[in-house]
Structure 1
């Protein structure tokens, strides 16, 4: 009796496994759309990077290393196959290109160095070495809060061998553009003998009149 019960249990398990395989294979596309192409951090950094380049470069995301680098002609077929596998397996976060020719100018990777398991926390010797051999500037930028456009522009300029952008001095949180002048009041001056709050307003004196009166007082004393 126990043997028969065991056979029934095994039969039920086998039927369930077969049914599950049949259901899964009925639709070969067991996938769904992601909520967003970029993570919130990547999307925020992209907006900052777009402001930093100021339309000087076009930014392309999630690019294969094989799309940036090509293998030289004078190499063996064995080396070509192994290198091509590595190039296709590596992805770059941001690639700066010339707007018209789409020539690659620089590569940026956004890295999370808070832990060893973070996004690209450990440098990839193949990526950095291959880009350096091809003469493509490569920047690894750590994830942090509070990045400014000027900081990113300075990092790009240093890596690309360009002069750093001039940053105007800050004064109490505001940009101080130069010396300021006292603002003249736009309030109209009351005319002479105009009553204000029950009193007559004395006529306004010019600078020469005031000086003459002062001289007369000194002489009189």
Structure 2
């Protein structure tokens, strides 16, 4: 009987220690997974953007600015300038699919961009991309987008001399004729 009581006490102590360690781990790493990577407005726009993207390109979402821009060598206060871009992101980045060369960045401007804090951040992004000679396209969030209009705006961002044929490496590109297509997004609050 003493052996059974000792075993039970040991078992309860082990459970207690495990629970304490689990609680301490949660305090040391207080993270939880987000349910979705993109908001509903971003997800809907991403779908339209994929339809409008030129052949031979790839679109990435929520890319950290520091993964797209770098501080120029020799700049004073490099760490300070790096810190300014390390915690911000671009909504979408358009790249060459075969080389991953960065072509342009796209920002989806919804109602949250009207706040003073967002205006300061938007101005910083505008100036940083301009200094880096990186095309930045801003799109006002809307309930629907014209694929043809978006396609034309994206083509205007492509480097001079780039053609659909050169981006698709000479392979024919099949696509649906969407020149007159308009895509309606989820009826969510933007």
Q: TM-score normalised by the shorter chain: which range applies?
A: 0.5 to 0.7
Unaligned runs of 5+ in 2: 1-20, 161-176, 182-190
- Structure of higher CA gyration radius: 1
1:64 counterpart residue number: 64
Query: TM-score, normalization: structure 1?
Result: 0.56
Deviation at 1:84, TM superposition (A): 0.6
Q: Which aligned pairs between 1:1-221 and structure 2 lie closer than 5 A?
A: 25=24, 27=26, 28-76=28-76, 79-113=77-111, 116-117=114-115, 120=118, 124-160=122-158
Deviation at 1:124, TM superposition (A): 2.1
After TM superposition, the runs of 4+ consecutive aligned structure 1 residues lying more than 6 A away are 166-170
**For this pair of structures, how many residues does the alignment match?**
145
State how far apart, in whole Å, the 1-side matches of 2:180 and 2:94 are.
29
Please tell me whether the aligned partners of residues 106 and 138 of structure 1 are also in contact (alpha carbons under 8 angstroms): yes
Deviation at 1:35, TM superposition (A): 1.7
1:191 counterpart residue number: none
Query: TM-score, normalization: structure 2?
Result: 0.64
Distance 1:72 1:23, change over 3 A: closer
State how far apart, in whole Å, the 2-side matches of 1:96 and 1:151 are.
17
Q: Compute the RMSD of aligned alpha carbons.
A: 3.2
Distance 1:43 1:121, change over 3 A: farther
